[in-house]
Structure 1
Amino acid sequence: MDVVDDWTAERAAMLQAACRMTNEQFAEKLGVSTRTVANWNSGVHPRTAEMKASLDTMLQEKITDAARARFRLMVEAETARTAAADRDLNAAEQRLTNDPNIGAALDWLDQHANWAPGTARKRVARELVSAEPGEVNDRRQLRSKVDREQASAALRAFYADLPDGYGRYSAHAGDGSVCTSILTRPEWIDLACTLTPANDQADLSRKASLQTSVLPEYAISAAVRRLAETLEANTRLVDADLYRLVEIDVAPGKLAGTFGLTSFVHYALTMDLLEAELADAIATGKALDSSSLPLRAHYMPDTASVLDVRSRLCAGGALALTAIARPAGMRRRKADYLLLVQERGGRVLNAARRLAVIPKSFHEPLSDFREDTQIGSTLRREMEEELFGRDDVDGTISSPRSADPMHPSRLSTPMRWLSERPDSWRMECTGFGLNLVSGNYEYASLVVIEDDEFWAECGGEIAANWESESLRQYSSTDREMLEELVSDKAWSNEGLFAFLQGLRRLAEIGGERVDAPTVDWELD
């Protein structure tokens, strides 16, 4: 190659490398300053026509044939790398274009970053192709090593300004004690609230809206990285309507308050980023302050902002300890309750690889936006989806097309069995709190199936869906195993909160079927 169409900083540096000259030698040969050559090596392109002419002359007349050959090989390699990168970038952009849910996220990002349409797609595509192979998985593995206790201790220091009457949910169970990052108060614990329409009365306000503003650059970059990681790790991201809490009104025997509406994409690209940011800071040993946690400092900087749910995005959900009565028999010496615990899978966006009760769900409308604000509606739907195998109520698989997906004629065999025998089971809310990890609201609940005929007739149809890596069984009479389970560091904060509150309530109502460790809670 004796002709260069345009001298970039990279090609000027290549020519120097091909000549095997120092900055001083190359500058002297060209008749330019040493600083100019150093600038080229730093990425500053040659600007003047005189400089480019000097480089042309050097290439054509002042170097050896061997140096010229080396330069040609370097340029050919650069051209091949650029072509490959362009192909990767085009493939990434095509992948982004073909996924309608990612498309909704890109549109949201363009709007909230104040970008021209299509800018987010290009930014995410560049982030996707620039990641080193395995980088996303390595980062996820590093985050997974940060356990609940580490996160709880870190957040205790960050949110030290607790108002009177509030505290972090902690408990003693048997000989052990555990702490969580669930911010709560005595009036929100031991609710014993049966989830019937008379008690489960939250309202929907279509007028409740959040003020929108252009995101700062660090929040935009984090959202871009989240979308790239979602694609790289094949995580399911599906946009859908999501309830957000606007007003809290919770008391024993009563769930009221008000919900508004938001989108899952809005949550996934803002508040849901706080957990990963916290885990990254802990894993790398950084001091936990506004410099290492800029997203937290922006979205939820203090306890007052945690409690001010009207002014921030507060999504969340319901999760329940499920207890199913089983008779004594050949495999069991005495009647008990089967307790189900899941290990969350790696493709879920929330509490991946953590222990949780089942069902665990985001609180979102299924078909009737106003009536579905009931926590009981969400739990019944999630029982169908996560335990009884109803794919058609799983919004991550397909959009609901039925006018009433929970109509009696569409129910699974286990849910139909329960619906026809309303006195054989109960659903209760056992506690409420705000999760300091993410800002989410958490309705801890208990599902108790008291008729052991259900297990005999329907037990074989109970299986966790794709959200779970595995489903664990525990007996309500195995005190030792339950004590060991409580102390497992793999629990998510909300999962442990719901498990402990469910176990505490089950001991009150379960009679001789329960021999569990005593759970005594306190606010830290």
Structure 2
Amino acid sequence: MSLVDGWTGRSACALQAALRMSNELFAQRLGIAVRTVASWHQKPSLRPKSEIQQILDTTLEQASAAVKERFAALTTDSPSGEQPRADERLDIDPNITAALDWLDHHADRQPGASRRDVASRLAQVDQQDIDERGIRRTHVNQRRVAQALDEYYRDRDSGHGLYGASYGDGRKVTTSVLTRPDWLDLDCPLIATHDRLVLGTTTDHATPLDSEAAGHAAQRLAESLACNVRLTDMPLYRLVNIDVSHGRLAGSVAVTHFVRYALTMDLLEGELIDALATDVPLSPESLPLRAHYLPDVTSVVNVSNRLCAGGTLALCAIARPADPYRGPADYVLLVQERSGHVVNAARRLAVIPKGFHQPLTDYRSDAQIGATLRREMEEEFFGREDIDNTIGDQRRADPMHPSRLSEPMKWLMGAPERLAMECTGFGLNLVSGNFEFASLIVINDDEFWTRFGGDIEANWEASTLRQYSSLDSELLSELIEDDAWSNEGLFALLQGLRRLRQIGGDRVNVPTIEWEMR
């Protein structure tokens, strides 16, 4: 890349990569703010101020021959605005850098060892092998996953069981969500007086990585780079303890980061699916990561001694007025298919909104489940990219301030009776040990659909969006039976439909659903 026209954020990041420096060290070297360096990563076309241009010129001029050679390699034949190649991203993506630093530290490696490991693996990645593995994985459905985990964790105490349900004309379904009777049918309004999950002071718990676990983590990074999968090191809440009952959520969370989850617990699903896809008998020997991180039900339930991240997901029911072409007044129910660009749960059916429970800027207030659901509504329904921290840094003091809300959300929040949010159930997903807060969102005023129904559009995390009528019992039964569901998505759907049947009145003709524990 020629610098005749001056530096851009992209070329500045290439210099940072050539120098092998973190954001903090590079900012210190240049004598500028760390947030300025971060802005170059987020906006590659951004042109630094003239005085910073001069500093960058001097830094490059004073660099060693090896640094200049690396800089030239990174900036040759890479037109501005073009997506960086996988090997470039290994050097310039700050999220990948954070992951490599984390892996070096927790696998007790020398600084830079993980980068060399990932670079070596990246050079050997075969895209055809990845594609073929992806095809094999599509043949492993929700039922098979639930059955396999039921057998693997067969030694369960009498208080816990796998969530399942009978519905319609006696059909049955089982999920991989471990729950208890007092964790179900919570009917808990997600308002401050009932939604009492709090931020605790517990330090982040870390399990050392052995050589095998570190190798799987490095392979995850190499394949993510090769497939251009988005990986963002955002803060996450991890569950420390939980105390739920009818009408009440309580417990505490601490803060961890997505990189730690992506390189540890999130690997369990792929390991399991690959074993099932190739008919490998399941055992601690064939599932070494599961044996390391989640060996038995005791380790699943004991959330304070492990990484237990997770999320909130809600069946959304939006009131619609009667229509001469469609029929009587009902609720429209929305279901998504997860995009292939999502680092986890790709191509699975899920309710929408669905998201990791994580803070934005107010770590204490955002610990409430309702805070995540409101944010996910803005992001996944109404297109608020500025609150999607997988896209850019969060710089607003209050991203959910009333003055910043989208028009649909502002209208919903304008009158308390228009929007109701409840938690319908809680469980721990045996797939990766995640906590799952199943919820129901009901928009009761059918004026919303008339005014804003056309504004609802899923974000990048969804590849398709489907709608169902709450009056179509037959189609809803077929939806429940679809084996493309994620286990947590099916859990939220069943609990949401069960609650909607109780409160929806004449707008609802939902199949009778009775939960069971296996």
| TM-score of the two chains, using structure 1 as the length reference | 0.82
Q: Which residue of 1 aligns with 2:301?
A: 307
Q: Which residue of 2 aligns with 1:420?
A: 414
Q: Which residue of 1 aligns with 2:250?
A: 256
Provide the secondary structure at the position in 2 that maps to 1:197.
Answer: coil
Q: Which residue of 2 aligns with 1:110?
A: 104
- Correspondence for 2:181 among 179, 186, 190: 186
Shift of 1:332: 2.3
Q: Which residue of 2 aligns with 1:356?
A: 350
Map 1:329-478; keep pairs closer than 5 Å. 329-478=323-472
Instruction: Work out whether residues 93 and 121 of structure 1, in 8 Å CA contact, stay in contact via their aligned partners in 2.
Output: no
Question: Which one is further off, 345-354 or 426-435?
Answer: 345-354
Q: Which residue of 1 aligns with 2:190?
A: 195
Shift of 1:211: 4.3
1:161 and 1:102 map into 2 onto residues whose CA distance is: 39
Counterpart residue type for residue 244 of structure 1 = R
1:279 and 1:332 map into 2 onto residues whose CA distance is: 41
1:155 lines up with 2:139 in the alignment? no
1:415 and 1:92 map into 2 onto residues whose CA distance is: 38
1:306-354 deviations in Å (ceiling 9; x for gaps): 0000000000000000000001022322100000000111011221100
Identity %: 59
Counterpart residue type for residue 402 of structure 2 = P
1:182-209 deviations in Å (ceiling 9; x for gaps): 0000000000000000000111113333
2:210 and 2:362 map into 1 onto residues whose CA distance is: 36
Instruction: Work out whether residues 433 and 441 of structure 1, in 8 Å CA contact, stay in contact via their aligned partners in 2.
Output: yes
Q: Which residue of 2 aligns with 1:3?
A: none
2:206 and 2:316 map into 1 onto residues whose CA distance is: 39
1:392 and 1:328 map into 2 onto residues whose CA distance is: 35
2:168 and 2:127 map into 1 onto residues whose CA distance is: 46
Shift of 1:212: 4.2
1:234 and 1:295 map into 2 onto residues whose CA distance is: 24
Q: Which residue of 1 aligns with 2:483?
A: 489
Provide the secondary structure at the position in 1 that maps to 2:117.
Answer: helix
1:361 and 1:296 map into 2 onto residues whose CA distance is: 24
Provide the secondary structure at the position in 1 that maps to 2:345.
Answer: coil
Q: Which residue of 2 aligns with 1:119?
A: 113
Provide the secondary structure at the position in 1 that maps to 2:316.
Answer: strand
Runs of 4+ aligned residues of structure 1 deviating over 6 Å after TM superposition are none
Instruction: Work out whether residues 384 and 390 of structure 1, in 8 Å CA contact, stay in contact via their aligned partners in 2.
Output: yes
| TM-score of the two chains, using structure 2 as the length reference | 0.83
- Correspondence for 2:205 among 205, 210, 220: 210
Counterpart residue type for residue 274 of structure 1 = L
Instruction: Work out whether residues 86 and 225 of structure 2, in 8 Å CA contact, stay in contact via their aligned partners in 1.
Output: no
Provide the secondary structure at the position in 1 that maps to 2:319.
Answer: strand
Shift of 1:425: 1.7
1:376-430 deviations in Å (ceiling 9; x for gaps): 0000000000011100010111011110000000000110000102111200000
1:139-162 deviations in Å (ceiling 9; x for gaps): 222222211111111111110111
Q: Which residue of 2 aligns with 1:28?
A: none
Counterpart residue type for residue 515 of structure 1 = N
Q: Mark the runs of 5 or more structure 2 residues left unpaired by the alignment.
A: 1-75, 77-84
Q: Mark the runs of 5 or more structure 1 residues left unpaired by the alignment.
A: 1-86
Shift of 1:462: 0.5
Provide the secondary structure at the position in 1 that maps to 2:109.
Answer: coil
Shift of 1:356: 0.3
Provide the secondary structure at the position in 1 that maps to 2:195.
Answer: coil
1:520 and 1:92 map into 2 onto residues whose CA distance is: 49
Provide the secondary structure at the position in 2 that maps to 1:201.
Answer: strand
2:429 and 2:219 map into 1 onto residues whose CA distance is: 24
Counterpart residue type for residue 102 of structure 2 = W
Shift of 1:92: 5.4
1:51-89 deviations in Å (ceiling 9; x for gaps): xxxxxxxxxxxxxxxxxxxxxxxxxxxxxxxxxxxx9xx
1:221 and 1:212 map into 2 onto residues whose CA distance is: 15
Instruction: Work out whether residues 316 and 352 of structure 2, in 8 Å CA contact, stay in contact via their aligned partners in 1.
Output: yes
1:216 and 1:224 map into 2 onto residues whose CA distance is: 12
Question: Which one is further off, 480-489 or 329-338?
Answer: 329-338
Which has more radius of gyration? 1
1:179 and 1:350 map into 2 onto residues whose CA distance is: 21
Shift of 1:93: 4.6
Shift of 1:442: 0.1
2:479 and 2:207 map into 1 onto residues whose CA distance is: 43
Instruction: Work out whether residues 206 and 261 of structure 1, in 8 Å CA contact, stay in contact via their aligned partners in 2.
Output: no
Query: Compared with structure 1, are the counterparts of its residues 291 and 492 closer, same or farther at alpha carbon in structure 2 (3 Å cutoff)?
Result: same
Instruction: Work out whether residues 476 and 510 of structure 2, in 8 Å CA contact, stay in contact via their aligned partners in 1.
Output: yes
Instruction: Work out whether residues 104 and 110 of structure 2, in 8 Å CA contact, stay in contact via their aligned partners in 1.
Output: yes
1:413 and 1:220 map into 2 onto residues whose CA distance is: 46
Counterpart residue type for residue 99 of structure 1 = D
